[in-house]
Amino acid sequence: MRKQILGLTNNLKYYYYKRPISMCKGIDALRGMIMNEFQMNPEDGSVFVFISNNHKIIKLLHYERNVYTLYIRKVYGARFIYPIYNPEKDIYELDWKRLCRLVEGYRYTRYNT
């Protein structure tokens, strides 16, 4: 398993937004969602992951050294699906292994572990 992909590493924290969003949203709109809905500071070094309404595009927003980076990935002939929901924590879990699969274009037919 890779230790780094697209400048992201396995020691960062990854947060997955619960609902699909419009992919028209840019950095500023996503920052606002993080502050208002996650109640978090988007500049804490974490990576925030968003999925499109049709589940074919993901966006990852990351802040590092005074710079925001917005990664966009799109799949053809498949769809991204939600990570596993943890009702005890009320979050969707996204670990490094699953994030790598998303970023590398792994095509899901169901959620593989």
Please report, in tens digits, the pLDDT of each residue of the chain (113 residues total): 556 666 788 888 888 887 888 999 999 999 999 999 888 899 999 999 998 888 888 899 999 989 999 999 887 777 676 676 777 867 666 777 777 776 666 555 444 44
- The pLDDT assigned to 19 comes to 83
CB 51 within 8 A of CB 80: yes
- Report residue 100: phi and psi, to 5°: -60, -40
The pLDDT assigned to 61 comes to: 95
**What's the rounded Cα separation, in Å, for the pair 63 and 99?**
17
What is the CA angle 44-104-75, rounded to 5?
105
Q: How many CA atoms lie within 13 A of 65 on its CB side?
A: 1
Instruction: Based on DSSP, count helices (H) and strands (E) in the chain, helices before strands.
Output: 2, 8
Q: Are 42 and 34 in contact (CB under 8 A)?
A: yes
Residues 6+ apart with CB under 8 A from 5: 100, 103, 104
- Contact (Cβ atoms closer than 8 angstroms) between residue 52 and residue 60: no
Does the pTM surpass 0.85? The reply is no
Q: How far apart are CA 26 and CA 43, in angstroms?
A: 16
